[in-house]
Chains A and B, each alone.
Chain A
Amino acid sequence: QKEVEQNSGPLSVPEGAIASLNCTYSDRGSQSFFWYRQYSGKSPELIMFIYSNGDKEDGRFTAQLNKASQYVSLLIRDSQPSDSATYLCAVNIWVNSGGYQKVTFGIGTKLQVIP
């Protein structure tokens, strides 16, 4: 089982709709979860992070975390063509017990917002 799993897409949504991006992870000890946006040919940029079960909202973005189900999602409301990008889910994982942490990335979901 991969440490972080995402559907590669593409996920196509019409402009103005809600885009829902999903991610599952394998390490039950993970405590920090991140969503990055990556435009084609560019480097990733952090758009949301979440630590606690429930929802976290920032503008048009909502991150949802369910640790019991090991599931993280990102909702984008009122999707715009400028939201078209690949969205990477990332999870903090302990490398050694009590040692270093590292962030592991999913392969990313490509989102296409159709005007």
Chain B
Amino acid sequence: DGGITQSPKYLFRKEGQNVTLSCEQNLNHDAMYWYRQDPGQGLRLIYYSQIVNDFQKGDIAEGYSVSREKKESFPLTVTSAQKNPTAFYLCASSRARGEANYGYTFGSGTRLTVV
């Protein structure tokens, strides 16, 4: 079955450590997105990519980095510069470049906690 796979499901980060969240899709979607969800704040866009080898900053990109070397993969690195990384991270994809008209398919999420 087609879908989006995020791993790991739970991740614990030590102070000053970089961690990478994986996102893989087999839906043949062009566009991929990373959102962060905090209680009471809804989903906030971190980065998005409409095509391979191209990505754009979202509303809260500071302290994060991404790459899009393959259509299927859009990993997110949470760097030590991100001072409050504890959150639920959601990866999503949509059908066509520049068009989110059909809505997103979401992965199951990664819950990141700073220890």
Contact = CB atoms under 8 A, between A and B. Distances in A.
B40 A32 contact: no
Contacts of A51: 101
A95 B56 contact: yes
B25 interface: no
Size class of the A contact interface (CB-based, 8 Å): 20 to 34
A25 interface: no
Interface in A40-76: 42-46, 49, 51
A92 interface: yes
Interface residues of B, number: 24
A9 B32 CA distance: 30
B100 A102 contact: yes
Interface of A: 8, 31-32, 34, 36, 42-46, 49, 51, 88, 90, 92, 95, 99-108
Contact of A43 (B40, B45, B98, B107): B107
B42 A92 contact: no
A103 B98 CA distance: 11
Given A102-B45, A102-B58, A106-B42, A42 B108 contact: yes
B95 to A, nearest CB: 12
Closest 4 CB pairs of A and B: A107-B42, A43-B106, A46-B103, A105-B43
Given A49-B101, A102-B45, A103-B100, 15 more contacts: A8-B40, A31-B101, A34-B104, A43-B109, A44-B106, A45-B106, A88-B42, A88-B43, A90-B103, A92-B100, A92-B101, A101-B99, A102-B48, A102-B100, A105-B42
B105 interface: yes
Contacts of A49: 101-103
Interface string B87-115: 00010000000111111111111000000
B103 A34 contact: yes
Contacts of B105: 46
Nearest to A86: B42
B98 A32 contact: no
B40 A107 contact: yes
A107 B41 contact: yes
